[in-house]
């Protein structure tokens, strides 16, 4: 699958990431990583504020933010996200399943049956110390229990998420590495 392990070391691919236990029977797992030249406390606020109608997703804005440019700075008004809060993503919402600043942020979607969901998706962000600043390791886990669910994961979800997340990580790294996180006057 395209970008399934983009930027990740073998150790990162095989090690556990926060939130792995939320979707234990995942049929699709992808790990993507990047080194950011900033400490975790400067990277985490950019992740915490993500969302449709908020600061965007730092990816291809024409697709995941309806053309509205993602933020280039940290917005203090979006820094109060806690575990259990809803994070808008267009027609659906994620739940912030784990928020542990400045190290862990996990988004989750469970739908079509909360106890035995037909769609279960998690996206974890783990910020690890690195000599250059932060090693940002992400883990996507998915299980779709619908007709053609595995085919959808393999042909659409996996590659699409890989392309979008690669761009997201590059953008987060760019802004966190080059800007004061609370710069005023920018979106």
List the chain domain ranges: 10-178
pLDDT band at 158 (very low <50, low <70, confident <90, very high): confident
Has residue 90 got a pLDDT over 80?
no
State residue 112's pLDDT score: 64
Stretch 89-97: mean pLDDT, rounded?
A: 88
Residues listed for the chain: 187
Closest CA to 138 of 54, 52, 58: 58
Statement: residue 183 has pLDDT above 60: no
> Mean pLDDT over residues 147-166, rounded?
82
Q: Say if residues 175 and 43 touch (Cβ distance below 8 Å).
A: no
pLDDT band at 114 (very low <50, low <70, confident <90, very high): low
The sheet carrying 133-144 orders its strands as 28-36, 133-144, 119-130, 104-111, 93-100, 86-88
What is the pLDDT at residue 70? 86
In this structure, whether the domain defined by 10-178 belongs to CATH 3.30.450.40 is answered with no
């Amino acid at each position: 699958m395209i970008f399934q392990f983009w930027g990740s070391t073998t150790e990162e691919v095989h090690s556990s990431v926060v939130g792995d236990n939320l979707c234990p029977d995942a049929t699709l797992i992808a790990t993507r990583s990047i080194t950011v030249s900033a400490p975790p406390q400067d990277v985490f606020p950019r992740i915490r504020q993500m969302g449709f109608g908020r600061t965007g997703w730092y990816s291809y804005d024409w697709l995941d933010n309806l053309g509205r440019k993602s933020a280039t700075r940290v917005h203090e008004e979006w820094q109060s996200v806690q575990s259990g809060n809803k994070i808008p993503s267009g027609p659906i919402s994620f739940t912030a399943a784990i928020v542990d600043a400045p190290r862990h942020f996990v988004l989750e979607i469970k739908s079509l049956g909360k106890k035995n969901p037909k769609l279960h998706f998690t996206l974890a962000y783990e910020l690890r110390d690195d000599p250059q600043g932060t090693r940002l390791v992400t883990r996507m886990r998915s299980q779709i229990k619908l007709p053609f669910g595995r085919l959808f994961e393999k042909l659409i979800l996996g590659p699409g998420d890989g392309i979008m997340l690669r761009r997201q990580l590059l953008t987060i790294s760019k802004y966190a590495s080059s800007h004061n996180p609370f710069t005023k006057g920018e979106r």
